[in-house]
Structure 1
Amino acid sequence: MFPGATTDREAASYVVVGAPLDATTTFQPGTRFGPDRVRQFSESYDDYDRRTASRFTDLGVHDAGDVHPWDDVPAYLDHLAAELRSVVLDDAVPATIGGEHTVTYAGVEAVDPDVLVVLDAHLDLRDAYGGNEWNHACVTRRALDVVDHAYVVGARTGSAAEWDRAEADDVTVVPPEDAGEWARSMQEDGILDGDSIYLSIDVDAADPGYAPGTGTMEPFGLAPRELRDAVRAVAPYAEGVDVVEVNDRDDGQTAALAGKLLREFVFTHAAEA
């Protein structure tokens, strides 16, 4: 169970769902261990949050356990989307813990937002990778079949074709050096106000010095405070969230960061509700 997720499913405002998909990782596998590690390394966090003057255990969080994957990725995503859609239909916010980034598509399908905000080192705008259009390197491209616009915050690498796709009107790329100003503008100017948002947090948006336990590390990334500020900026507008791409190849610092960012989302969202 995610620490502090003590509310019954029927009364929950936030429902944590583990999605340990580890089918298309292109470098270092291990995302199947992500949900359990995020839960494990979130155990030490205090219940009380001074900034919002609230307790996590009072915010209506339920942990529904894991939706275990199988070999057919599109079929699994359909099933996962149905599970997450049931959360939405109960007027709760789905909070998915991956698993590889492909699981974000299921969250987007379930929430059906106007806008996807994804914190990510990679553009993930490939039409296919290795002949597979459901590879984790294609997830933002697939999500654009559902959403009207995608913000990719922290992106610093991609193929030539991806950078060309990113020039289209339905994509905004925010490089790491601009992420802080972007977060401030979101908060101060209310740019996202009026849109329904889905937030995806790929931990490789962080510099690997802070989050080495991920499959495809990319240097020159975001600091944890920059990730925190971006999450705080988007959370009031978001109707679903995920944190993805945590694996078991470090001493827990990546899972600890992922769990803290998920808690920051819940604290901020609840305070603004």
Structure 2
Amino acid sequence: MFPGASTDRGQADFVVVGAPLDVSTTFQPGTRFGPERIRRFARTFDDYDHRTGLFFSDLAVHDHGDVYAWDDAEEYLEYIEGVLTDIVWDDACPLLLGGEHTVTLAGVRATEPDTFVCLDAHLDLRAEYDGNPLSHATVTRHVLDVADRAIILGARTGSEEEWNRAAKSDVTVVPPEEVADWEPDFGGTTYLSVDIDGADPGFTPGTGTMEPFGLSPREMRDVVRDVAEETDVVGFDVVEVNDRDDGQAASLGGKLLREFVFSHAHDR
């Protein structure tokens, strides 16, 4: 159980769901261990948050546990979408723990946001990767079949095809050096996805495809707070945490989930 997520399912305002999918990782696998590690390294955090004056255990968070992953990604995403749709229908906010970034597609399909905001080192706008059209490297392209627009914060790499796709009007790319000054100035509903590789790998070596010159944890925290407090946010996830470090990536992932919940609850 995620620490402090002790509310009964029927009374929950937020529901944690683990989605340990790990079938299309292209460099360092291990995202199947992500949800468990995020929960484990969140055990050291205090229940009380000084900034908001709130206790995490008072914020009606429930942990659904992990949904066991299998090799058929398309079928698995459909199943996860159903789990998350039930949460949305119960007027709760899904908090998805990956797993590879592909699982975000299930969260977006379940919540149908107007705007997709993502902290990510990569554009993830490929039509396919290594012949796989449902790879973690294609997730934002698929998301745009649901959401009206995508805002990718911290992106610093991509293929020529991806940069050409990113130049279209429904995609905004904010490079790492401009993220600190970015503000969410749009209307409608929002889904927020945190790919942990958006951080510089000096902070989060435990991820599949590390990319230097990234964001600081504090910059990522500020984005999470701003989106949670200033937009109508309907879903959140942390993805691409693996077991290839001493807990740095998982610790940041767990802390950002807590920041999201504290900020969302404080705004409400």
User: Which TM bucket (shorter chain)?
Assistant: over 0.9
The one of 249, 254, 258 equivalent to 1:259 is: 254
- 1:172-205 Cα deviation digits (max 9, x unpaired): 00000000000xx33xxxx13x310000000000
Instruction: Show structure 1 runs of 5+ residues with no match.
Output: none
Counterparts of residues 74-223 of structure 1 (less than 5 Å): 74-182=74-182, 185-186=183-184, 191-192=185-186, 194-223=187-216
Poorly superposed stretches of 4+, deviation over 2 Å = none
Counterparts of residues 226-241 of structure 1 (less than 5 Å): 226-236=219-229, 237=231, 238-241=233-236
Structure 1 stretch displaced more, 63-72 or 214-223: 63-72
* Aligned position for 1:5: 5
CA distance in 2, matches of 1:171, 1:143: 11
Shift of 1:154: 0.3
The one of 263, 266, 269 equivalent to 2:264 is: 269
TM-score, normalization by structure 2: 0.98
CA distance in 1, matches of 2:70, 2:251: 27
What letter is aligned with 2:3? P
* Aligned position for 1:69: 69
CA distance in 2, matches of 1:108, 1:74: 14
- 1:92-121 Cα deviation digits (max 9, x unpaired): 000000000000000000000001000000
Instruction: Show structure 2 runs of 5+ residues with no match.
Output: none
Q: How many residues align?
A: 266
CA distance in 2, matches of 1:78, 1:62: 22
CA distance in 2, matches of 1:195, 1:156: 27
Shift of 1:71: 1.2
Between the two proteins, what is the percent identity of the paired residues?
A: 63
Shift of 1:235: 1.1
What letter is aligned with 2:94? P
What letter is aligned with 1:31? T
Structure 1 stretch displaced more, 235-244 or 117-126: 235-244
* Aligned position for 1:27: 27
Counterparts of residues 45-60 of structure 1 (less than 5 Å): 45-60=45-60
User: What secondary structure sits across from 1:105 in the alignment?
Assistant: helix
Shift of 1:256: 0.3
What letter is aligned with 2:76? Y
CA distance in 1, matches of 2:28, 2:57: 35
